[in-house]
Amino acid sequence: MKFKKAIVGTLSVSLLSASLLSTTSAFAAEEKAADVKTHATTSLPVVNVHAENNTINQQEIDKAVASILNEVGQTAPQVQVNEDSMQELGVVSIGTKLIKKFGGGYVKSTLPKKIYGKFPAELTAKVSEAQWVGIWNTYILMGPLDEVHDVVTDALDPYVWHWVASTCGYIAQGVVYALI
């Protein structure tokens, strides 16, 4: 367990260092763990996440997001909302927006299970579906839209490698952005 924590700490420091150091440095270029570029069609970051021999590329993340969106589109209830009934003031939480669109029961139980089903096996081996639903309802639905990736990554970091947690963060972020 100490070894795993040491490796996770080392990877976290490496990721931070790689993002702060200039890419002209040969050392930084070799140690860089994540390349983030702007994706033109979805305005979500394009990510290649590397850890040892494991690689998850943008196409796999896009495939997972598209699969979840397809399932949600087929199974989600459509709630009738009178647009004049509530005026949105300032920042509205993700939960408020999603519940307004799909209903509370679906957003709090079914949607997080669909997202969990598309996460990498490395995460599902360490974090149960019930734990994920708890994280979803406690941290993600209560937060602002811009922080989905960071909140998911931070919540899953204690359980798995950072690259796995970060990948799950991008999957959740893609689904939430597309739904809202």
% of the chain at pLDDT higher than 70: 59
Residue 51 in any domain: the answer is no
Nearest to 8 by CA among 165, 123, 152, 128: 165
- pLDDT over threshold 80, residue 160: yes
Residue 171 lies in a domain: yes
For residue 170, give its domain range.
58-179
Q: Is residue 79 part of a domain?
A: yes
Q: What is the pLDDT of residue 71?
A: 76
Q: pTM of this prediction? A: 0.54
* Residue 27 domain flag: no
- Residue at 105 is within a domain: yes
Q: Does any domain span residue 160?
A: yes
